[in-house]
A = this chain, B = another copy of it.
Amino acid sequence: MRKLRMGMVGGGIGSFIGDVHRKAAAIDGMIELVCGAFSSSAEKSKESGKALFLPEERCYADFEEMILAEKQLSDGERMDFIAITTPNYLHFAPAKLALQNGFHVVCDKPMTLNVEEAKELVTLLEQTGLLFALTHNYTGHPMVRQAKAMVAHGDIGKIRKIQVQYLQGWMAAPVEKIEGPKDFWRIDPAKSGLGGALGDIGTHAENLTEFITGLKITELAADLGRFGEGRVLDDDGNVLLRMENGAKGTMSFSQIAAGEENNLAIRVYGEKGSLEWHQENPNELITRWLNEPKKIFTPNGNGLYPEAALISRIPSGHPEGYLEAFATVYHGFANHLMAILAGKIPHKPVYPTVYDGLRGLQFISAAVQSDSNNAAWTKL
């Protein structure tokens, strides 16, 4: 066996999320970065590649050049997959071209600009049989896996109530006016899509909810806010949820929640008990019970299901964080791909896929539609 070879789209030096993808791919020693189209210009791309210790000839001007050039390389050299770390509007095209040329894909979320593009990627996946990982990184926390396993094993009984939130404060001030609009592709509908905070962090809340509960959101009532002066896209949202099993809930997300950093949290209430998890303190799963005291689970601690224990890298009491969870998505993807390359029967993905991506776009679309109808109930 050998390490898997990754090519990057976007993620030039200085990019937050590109750096995260690189570190996450590197931690477990299964993946090496071999090429990239890191920036909007060939020159900048080469600069970034140099800083990343890549040979100049594998730093490409754009993703088309990269995909076509790499396709010509020998089996022993050619990249295995691309990692797409560009703004939202630049996800679909490279993903599509990669799939059409036989490359697997790791892609940031939201997957595309709209539901139609998302469906096209689903179709392509099903046609090609290639792999597609969507970096809903929060699914990679051991305590999120424990939560999911506890629900699946019926520990808390039938779910009745959900509270989920993702609160940030970095857009509470008019940052786009202070720092200049050019850096703020997130507030531009052409680059970000229909949703602002909705697409950027609302989709994480939606994905986490469905991941842990194993339940689909069937309808929602969304009251979006646009608090920053002149903003066209939402920077805040308050949503009522109804789940396929009759459970109800609230979702709250915001980028104007002054002072919040990344306060993603979820509470799930069943008939027998309940679960609580906070992204900013991810190594605790708080559980409450009808007749027992509160119990707190920790990664590699006592009483875990194998699903959680398997993805804890270090002994209990040594915190894992954002990068490790992100790396777990890459790890699941790499394991899957290695198994296929080794000719083994491919297992079911344990990482978010193109279907999660489609689901995210449907969520964005429903929320925007609901909001434009004064928060009327809207089906997903």
Interface residues of A (CB under 8 A from B): 1-3, 16, 19-20, 22-23, 26-29, 33, 52-53, 156-157, 160-161, 163, 165, 168-169, 172-173, 221, 223, 225, 227, 236, 238, 240-242, 248-250, 252, 254, 256-263, 267, 269-274, 279-283, 287-298, 301-303, 313-324, 374-375, 377
Contacts of A16 in B (CB 8 A): 314-315
Of B1, B223, B274, which contacts A240 at CB under 8 A? B223
A305 to B359, CA, bound (A): 42
Contacts of A319 in B (CB 8 A): 279-282, 319, 321-322
User: Is there contact, CB below 8 Å, between A273 and B258?
Assistant: yes
Report A342 CB to chain B, min CB distance, Å.
13
Number of copies of chain A assembled together = 4
In the complex where A225-B248, A319-B282, A319-B321 touch, is A313 in contact with B163 (Cβ < 8 A)? no
Of B1, B290, B314, B317, which contacts A168 at CB under 8 A? B317
Report A321 CB to chain B, min CB distance, Å.
4
Contacts of A267 in B (CB 8 A): 257
Report A276 CB to chain B, min CB distance, Å.
9
Contacts of A322 in B (CB 8 A): 314, 318-320
Of B29, B254, B274, which contacts A269 at CB under 8 A? B254
User: Is there contact, CB below 8 Å, between B223 and A248?
Assistant: yes
User: Is there contact, CB below 8 Å, between B301 and A271?
Assistant: no
In the complex where A248-B238, A375-B240 touch, is A161 in contact with B52 (Cβ < 8 A)? no
Report A144 CB to chain B, min CB distance, Å.
13
Q: Residue of B at shortest CB range from A282?
A: B319
User: Is there contact, CB below 8 Å, between A236 and B291?
Assistant: no
Report A369 CB to chain B, min CB distance, Å.
16
Q: Residue of B at shortest CB range from A292?
A: B302
